[in-house]
Structure 1
Amino acid sequence: MKILIVKTSSLGDLIHVFPVLSYLRQRFPEAQIDWVVERPFASLIEAHPYVNRVISIDTRVWKRALFSRRTWREIRDARRELRTEEYDCVYDLQGNVKSGLVTFLARSACKVGFGPASLPEWPNRFFTNHQYEISLGQNIREDYLSIVKQHLSDKGEGGEKDVDEAVLLLRLSDDERRSIQPYLLDKAILVCPGSAWRNKRMTEEALIALLRGILKNAGGSGETHLLFAWGSDEERACVGRLHEEFLGECESTVMERLSLPALQHVMAHVETVLAMDSLALHLCGTTQTPSLSVFGPSAMNKYKPLGSEHRAYQGKCPYGQQFEKRCPILRTCQTGACIRDLDVGEVLECLGREGREGSEKCPKKDSSI
């Protein structure tokens, strides 16, 4: 069995497809599973132990230099690499024109994708010959998984077959393994305050108050170590200020910038991860570590990791915006009030209530707040 996944970007969206890899490997243990991805994100997919071959494309660079010889040489090489195998099935889980063209070039009689009502970009429908709709109200991870399950007609007596939830850690190099040693602490909360969009981030004042509440409800800060993660210069400055705020209250460390596989291994070791709707939160969902997350202009039921050990708070829009995935004014809202004007006491009460209700379902780690 030879399978090709076409999911080119972005990093968070790639991680949402990881349950598909686990499912396919569970169904077809000996299958060759290849993946087409944008070059800047290829290292993440290369670190996944279930992927046999990564085919990278670089469409952003190609668009900027469309008439250069180098561009056309790289396009020709990518096309040749894509067509070296004939696949039993190609799964286009991107659903746009770009992924459709990749799917078109792949050699396979079976090309699976989204149905017309579910497509992000309608021309994609011309590049697949098996199309399936996704149900409203599902988690984003279930959306991708449902396409594959529907195609494989996977329905048993108890409904659709579950994915094996054993922890699957990404591959680490020796240097990456050495880089995480200082952060493998016995009792730590990993704090990831960043997000690509300003309107998905809490204010620093609210985040400080939330952390103090979490530490207090967990029995005090004496034994707890706060680890602060960052991914940009702006986030580095933010976690530096947070670190200084907690000096003298508890142990606190600003980590070095880590690769995503290295960060995942740290996440797998700590007791809890606190994050916004961000790449860090999605990465935590690939481990068994509980998470606490705060959502504003995106729907927590759509994007938070699956499982009762992952607790989230949904901020309220003062302007009455309704959405299933993301707020239509996420990028333009001047106030970001749904996440930047929070009642921290209400957030703590909500997260604590979810923890009490789900405590019997996730006894692995103590993530009480």
Structure 2
Amino acid sequence: MSPVVIPARIKKILIIKPSAFGDIIHSLPFLNAVKSTFPNARIDWVVAHGLHTFLEGHPMIDKLWVIKKDQWKKIGYLKSTLNEIFGLVKGLGKEKYDIAFDLSGILRSGLITLASKAYMKIGFEESDEGSPFFYTHKIKGGMDNHAIDRYLKLAGFIGCDTSSVNYPFAPFDNHSDICNILPPNYVVISPSAGKPANQWPAEKYGELASMLPLPSVVISSGADAAIAERVVKFSQGKALSIAGKTTLKGLMPIIKGARFFITNDTGPMHLAAALEVPVVAVFGPANPVRTGPYGSIHRVIQKKLPCSPCYAWQPCSHWRCMNELTVREVFDVVKEMTET
């Protein structure tokens, strides 16, 4: 589809991408392309509570519409949810956006797009849950493209230059207090994942850490601290857990200072790729074409099985994609990368 002719006087743009962490990082090149084309436009962003801290203070974003979306399906929060939704609908409607972009493509984000009352409501034609019904312009993103390239197609549709991929981050501290306890030369391991099926066993990460020539720093959320501690347990004293001890922005100097980043398919993996830290990514049922680390300096390790990728949420009965992936296979890839 050819780009549409968009007047340069566009004043207000809304980006709808509440979550997840990795998806928000994928959206930053889109934000950069749009702001570069429309430098005088106001850009607002609908983001989930908790993840909003990563975007706070961003010089390209004028306002964050923060929603507690995780509570919206919980009956105990019905009253507060209704108040939040009514306030969001009323507030968005008053803004008179020229363009609203739905990068999520589900029913909730489609309804938020509708609520924006934007003159142009743009999303993907293959989006889920009926969300394209709410768009004025439907763009073919393609399901066999990386998420970053798909998002940039929306920017290209309104005439933005998408020839380069740049990640504009909100300001962050280049040296947090926790950096003081880290070894001078280290690898970061991220052993948790949003989907249990995407999680290579923690004891294997621990065994891998025991074989590496460098010490490992293990990161995760506080909720997944037990996974990080299991990695430490099997590392023979060569891993340090800082699980739950950093903010999202606080992860940035830690990852930026690493020699390598070894991980499952998870949000911090995309942060490492954006920071140009070499990534070794362990993939099972997920599709690295869509959600792998973006860039040529990274390596994806995935068993070639007829059932993969299956996009499963929970491990299946055999879970061969993860169970049959050995520590030695991953170690060999890391070793190869260190020698090149």
Superposition pairs of residues 112-123 of structure 1, within 5 angstroms? 112-115=122-125, 118-121=126-129, 123=130
Which residue is 2:119 aligned to? Answer: 109
- So what's the TM-score if we normalise by structure 2? 0.84
Counting matched residue pairs gives: 329
Alpha-carbon spacing, 1:247–1:30, altered in 2? closer, same or farther (3 Å):
farther
| Deviation for aligned residue 1:54 | 0.6
Are the aligned partners of 2:308 and 2:321 in contact in 1 as well (CA < 8 Å)?
Answer: no
2:291 and 2:80 map into 1 onto residues whose CA distance is: 38
1:15 and 1:308 map into 2 onto residues whose CA distance is: 17
Superposition pairs of residues 185-200 of structure 1, within 5 angstroms? 185-200=183-198
Are the aligned partners of 2:17 and 2:102 in contact in 1 as well (CA < 8 Å)?
Answer: yes
Alpha-carbon spacing, 1:49–1:338, altered in 2? closer, same or farther (3 Å):
farther
| Deviation for aligned residue 1:202 | 1.9
Alpha-carbon spacing, 1:330–1:68, altered in 2? closer, same or farther (3 Å):
closer
SS at match of 2:94: coil
Percent identity between the aligned chains? 26
- Structure 2: which 5+ runs fail to align? 1-10
Are the aligned partners of 2:217 and 2:242 in contact in 1 as well (CA < 8 Å)?
Answer: yes
Which residue is 2:264 aligned to? Answer: 276
Which residue is 1:331 aligned to? Answer: 314
| Deviation for aligned residue 1:291 | 1.1
| Deviation for aligned residue 1:225 | 3.1
1:177 and 1:334 map into 2 onto residues whose CA distance is: 44
1:293 and 1:350 map into 2 onto residues whose CA distance is: 10
Instruction: Say if 2:219 is the partner of 1:229.
Output: yes
| Deviation for aligned residue 1:296 | 0.7
The one-letter amino acid paired with 2:149 is E
SS at match of 2:66: strand
| Deviation for aligned residue 1:172 | 3.9
Deviations 1:232-255 (A, max 9, x none): 44x42333243344456x5x4222
Which residue is 2:25 aligned to? Answer: 15
1:351 and 1:132 map into 2 onto residues whose CA distance is: 39
Given the alignment, which residue of 178, 181, 184 partners 1:180?
Answer: 178
Given the alignment, which residue of 133, 137, 144 partners 1:126?
Answer: 133
The one-letter amino acid paired with 1:119 is S
Alpha-carbon spacing, 1:304–1:151, altered in 2? closer, same or farther (3 Å):
same
2:206 and 2:315 map into 1 onto residues whose CA distance is: 26
| Deviation for aligned residue 1:64 | 3.2
The one-letter amino acid paired with 1:321 is C
The one-letter amino acid paired with 1:255 is I
1:340 and 1:47 map into 2 onto residues whose CA distance is: 42
What is the root-mean-square deviation of aligned Cα atoms in Å? 2.8
Instruction: Say if 2:146 is the partner of 1:163.
Output: no
Superposition pairs of residues 1-369 of structure 1, within 5 angstroms? 1-46=11-56, 48-65=58-75, 70-115=80-125, 118-121=126-129, 123-152=130-159, 154=161, 161-164=163-166, 168-172=168-172, 178-182=176-180, 185-213=183-211, 215=212, 221=213, 224-233=214-223, 235-247=224-236, 250=238, 252-257=239-244, 258-317=246-305, 320-323=306-309, 327-331=310-314, 333-350=316-333, 355=337, 367-368=338-339
Alpha-carbon spacing, 1:153–1:286, altered in 2? closer, same or farther (3 Å):
closer
Deviations 1:70-89 (A, max 9, x none): 44432232223213322221
The one-letter amino acid paired with 2:227 is C
Alpha-carbon spacing, 1:328–1:274, altered in 2? closer, same or farther (3 Å):
closer
Are the aligned partners of 2:93 and 2:115 in contact in 1 as well (CA < 8 Å)?
Answer: yes
